[in-house]
């Protein structure tokens, strides 16, 4: 049948597309980061094409490091802490 096997789990690549947009908005070239993660931008334009979740995760990590921004420019979210009713800021923290 000619179908290629892909590592599971797979994803649609939506997060990769968003990260590419963030990189370009800040003047960064996503090409080398895609290559490093084993992805090709042309694959994102193919309807119903899926990619390895691990490869997507690698690309997002590389993009966050390149931008020095793990939130890709998204503003921090505010939430109410249930126990105290205080407003808290939610940010991604690398552990």
Domains and CATH numbers, the chain: 10-90 (1.10.260)
Q: Which of 6-10, 27-31, 90-94 has the lowest mean pLDDT?
A: 90-94
Assess whether pLDDT exceeds 80 at residue 33: yes
List Cα–Cα distances, 62 to 8, 41, 42, 69, in angstroms.
21, 15, 19, 11
Tokens for 30?
A: 């996503």
Q: What is the pLDDT of residue 95?
A: 46
Assess whether pLDDT exceeds 50 at residue 59: yes
pTM to 2 decimal places: 0.72
pLDDT in tens, 66-90: 999 888 777 766 555 556 655 544 4
For the segment 37-43, the average pLDDT, to the nearest whole number, is 91
CB 52 within 8 A of CB 10: yes
Assess whether pLDDT exceeds 90 at residue 19: yes
Of residues 79 and 40, more confidence is placed in 40
CB 55 within 8 A of CB 38: yes
């Amino acid at each position: 049948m000619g179908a290629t096997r892909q590592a599971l789990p797979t994803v649609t690549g939506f997060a990769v597309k968003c990260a590419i947009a963030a990189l370009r908005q800040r003047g960064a070239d996503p090409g080398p980061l895609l290559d490093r993660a084993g992805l090709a931008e042309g694959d994102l334009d193919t309807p119903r094409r899926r990619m390895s979740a691990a490869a997507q995760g690698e690309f997002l990590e590389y993009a966050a490091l390149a931008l020095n921004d793990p939130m890709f420019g998204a503003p921090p979210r505010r939430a109410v802490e249930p126990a105290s009713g205080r407003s808290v800021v939610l940010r991604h923290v690398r552990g």
